[in-house]
C-alpha cells in the first residue's frame, strides 16, 4: 500500500559518517552541531530568531509559557489538528476554547474566532493543517485589533508560504515539528520562531532549566524554572543533513499537490479545498472532501493506495470535556474530509494511477 506518510532520510553514505563523527567526538550534548542546525533553520526560514527544541510540543509549550498562559486563562484553538496542539494548552492549566472551522477548508474560521474572544483570551492558536495555510490576512487583523498574540502551529507546514515568504516570521510565535512523519525529520525535534527578537532570550532560558548559557554555571541564577527542551548534537547533525535535502523533498510534496489541484478539478463527488489569499500550501497531505467517503477509501485501497482522514478531532477527548460546544461546520468538514498520499515517495506513475481511479468513480 502506498502510505499517507513516510519519513525521508538523507542517503546513508552522507548521514552515517556524520552521525558517527558526532557520536565519538567526545561532545554529544548541545554544542556546535546543534547550533549550526539552528543557523541552517534561520537561513532556510529567513528569520534570525529561531530556537531548535526537542519537539513540536516543546515549541508550543514554550510559546505558551512566554505568554504566561496559566490556569484561569483561555486559548482559542481548533479541534481539527493532531492532539499535541491542544494538550500543550492543557498542560499550562488554561482552558481550550474551540472556535469553528471554515467548512470548505477545515481551517479555523476567523469570524468564529472573533466570537470566542473574552477578556480571558491569552492567545489564538492557529494550525496550518496538512500544510494548508490559515486565512492570515484576517487573523492578523484580529490580532492587531485586539492585541491578542497568535501562535502558529506549523508542524504540518514547513515550506508553506504567506505573501510569498516562508511561514515562520508572520506571527509572534511559529512552532515547527521535525517528528518522524513530518516534511523534514530529525527523528524527533522541533523549532520555535519569533517575530519579536525580545522573546528569544527568555525562551533560551526556559529551554534549559532557567539557566543562562552565556553566564558561567557558578554565577547563574534561576529566576524562573525552565525545562530540558534543547537539542543535542546528534539531533543537530541529523538536522543539518536533513535540511540540505529539505528544499528538494518539500518541492516534491508541492509539485504533487499542485498536480492534484489541476487534475482533480470538476470531478463529480470531489470537492477541492480553496486556498486563502496570499497563501501557498506545502501539501504535507493532500486534502479534499469526498461524497461517500467509506467507498472512496475502499476504492483507493483496491488500487493499493491509502486514503484516510488522519486525525481524530481533539474536542471529543475527555480531557477537554469542559470545553465542549457546538461546532456545526466542524461536523460537516469532519464527515467528508479525506487525505491521499502526496509526498516525495509518490512518483509520476502512481499519481497518474490515483487520478485515473478517482475519475472512474467509486
Ligand X SMILES: *Cc1c(COP(=O)(O)O)cnc(C)c1O
Decide whether 88 or 340 has the Cβ nearer to ligand X.
88
Q: Does 55 bind ligand X (CB under 6 A)?
A: yes
Starting at the earlier edge strand, list the strands of the sheet with 337-340.
270-272, 286-290, 337-340
> Whose Cβ is closer to ligand X: residue 259's or residue 315's?
315
User: x-or-dash pattern for ligand X, window 127-156, by CB under 6 A?
Assistant: x-------------------------x-xx
Q: What is the DSSP letter of 308?
A: B
Q: Does 82 bind ligand X (CB under 6 A)?
A: yes
Provide, rounded to whole angstroms, the least separation between the CB of residue 214 and ligand X.
Answer: 27
Alpha-carbon distance of 96 to 104, in angstroms, equals 23
Q: Is 344 left (phi over 0), alpha (psi -120 to 50) or beta?
A: alpha
CB 160 within 8 A of CB 154: yes
CA distance 126 to 151: 6
Q: Which of residues 98-117 bind ligand X (CB under 6 A)?
A: none
84 touches ligand X by CB under 6 A: yes
Q: Single out the segment in contact with ligand X by CB under 6 A; choices: 16-24, 54-62, 229-237, 314-322.
A: 54-62
Going by C-alpha positions, the residue among 179, 213, 144 that lies closest to residue 59 is: 179
Q: Which one of the spans 49-57, 196-204, 205-213, 350-358 is the region binding ligand X (CB under 6 A)?
A: 49-57
Cell numbers that stand for 293 in this block:
467517503
Site for ligand X in 323-342 (CB under 6 A): none
Candidates 51-59, 102-110, 198-206, 208-216: pick the segment binding ligand X (CB under 6 A): 51-59
Q: Are strands 165-166 and 270-272 parallel, antiparallel or unpaired?
A: unpaired
Neighbours of 72 (CB within 10 A): 10
The x, y and z cell numbers of residue 360, run together, are 472512474
Q: Which is nearer to ligand X, 113 or 270 (CB)?
A: 113
To ligand X, the closest distance from the beta carbon of 334 in angstroms equals 16
Whether 352 and 257 have beta carbons less than 8 Å apart is answered as no
Comparing CB distances to ligand X, the nearer of 179 and 279 is 179
Does 57 participate in binding ligand X (rule CB under 6 A)? yes
**Smallest gap, in angstroms, from Cβ of residue 207 to ligand X?**
14
Q: Which residues pair with 177 in a beta bridge?
A: 190
Of 151, 7, 161, 165, which Cα lies nearest the Cα of 69? 151
Among 44, 45, 50, 56, binds ligand X (CB under 6 A): 56
Q: Mention every residue, 6+ apart, whose C-beta is less than 8 A from residue 153.
A: 56, 60, 81, 85, 125, 126, 127, 128, 175
In the complex with ligand X, the residue whose CB is nearer, 158 or 346, is 158
Size of interface with ligand X, in residues (CB under 6 A): 14
190 binds ligand X (CB under 6 A): yes
CB of 311 to ligand X, least distance (A): 8
Contact flag: residue 177 with ligand X (CB under 6 A): yes
CB of 24 to ligand X, least distance (A): 27
- Give the span between the Cα atoms of 170 and 147, in whole angstroms: 15
Position closest to ligand X via CB: 56
Q: Minimum distance from CB of 284 to ligand X (Å)?
A: 8
Nearest to 4 by CA among 289, 280, 296, 287: 287
Nearer to ligand X, 113 or 351 (CB): 113
CA distance 167 to 8: 21
Binding site for ligand X (CB under 6 A): 55-57, 81-82, 84-85, 127, 153, 155-156, 177, 179, 190
Amino acid at each position: 500500500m502506498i502510505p499517507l506518510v513516510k519519513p525521508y532520510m538523507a542517503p546513508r553514505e552522507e548521514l552515517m559518517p556524520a552521525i558517527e563523527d558526532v557520536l565519538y567526538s567526545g561532545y554529544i550534548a548541545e554544542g556546535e552541531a546543534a547550533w549550526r542546525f539552528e543557523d541552517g533553520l534561520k537561513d532556510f526560514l529567513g528569520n534570525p530568531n529561531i530556537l531548535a527544541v526537542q519537539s513540536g510540543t516543546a515549541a508550543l509549550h514554550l510559546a505558551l509559557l512566554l505568554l504566561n498562559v496559566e490556569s484561569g486563562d483561555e486559548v482559542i484553538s481548533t479541534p481539527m489538528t493532531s492532539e499535541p496542539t491542544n494538550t500543550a494548552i492543557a498542560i499550562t492549566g488554561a482552558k481550550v476554547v474551540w472556535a469553528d472551522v471554515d467548512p470548505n477548508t477545515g481551517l479555523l474560521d476567523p469570524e468564529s474566532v472573533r466570537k470566542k474572544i473574552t477578556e480571558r483570551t491569552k492567545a489564538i492558536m492557529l494550525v496550518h493543517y496538512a500544510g494548508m495555510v490559515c486565512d492570515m490576512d484576517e487573523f492578523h487583523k484580529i490580532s492587531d485589533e485586539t492585541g491578542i498574540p497568535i501562535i502558529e502551529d506549523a508542524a504540518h507546514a514547513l515550506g508553506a508560504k504567506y505573501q510569498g515568504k516562508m511561514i515562520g516570521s508572520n506571527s509572534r510565535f511559529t512552532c515547527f515539528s521535525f517528528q518522524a512523519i513530518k516534511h523534514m525529520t530529525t527523528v524527533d525535534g522541533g523549532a520555535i520562531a519569533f517575530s519579536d527578537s525580545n522573546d528569544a532570550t527568555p525562551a533560551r532560558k526556559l529551554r534549559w532549566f532557567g539557566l543562562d548559557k552565556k553566564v558561567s554555571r557558578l554565577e547563574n541564577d534561576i529566576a524562573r524554572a525552565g525545562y530540558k527542551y534543547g537539542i543535542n548534537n546528534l539531533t543537530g547533525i541529523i538536522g543539518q543533513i536533513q535540511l540540505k535535502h529539505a528544499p528538494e523533498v518539500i518541492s516534491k510534496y508541492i509539485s504533487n499537490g499542485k498536480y492534484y489541484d489541476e487534475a482533480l478539478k470538476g470531478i463529480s463527488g470531489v470537492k477541492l479545498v480553496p486556498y486563502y489569499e496570499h497563501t501557498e500550501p506545502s501539501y504535507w497531505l493532500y486534502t479534499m472532501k469526498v461524497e461517500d467517503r467509506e467507498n472512496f477509501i475502499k476504492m483507493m485501497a483496491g488500487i493499493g493506495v491509502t486514503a484516510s482522514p488522519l486525525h481524530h478531532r481533539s474536542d471529543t477527548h475527555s480531557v477537554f470535556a469542559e470545553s465542549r460546544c457546538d461546532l456545526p461546520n466542524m461536523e460537516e468538514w469532519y464527515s467528508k474530509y479525506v487525505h491521499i498520499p502526496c509526498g516525495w515517495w509518490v512518483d509520476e506513475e502512481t499519481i497518474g494511477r490515483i487520478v485515473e481511479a478517482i475519475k472512474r468513480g467509486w
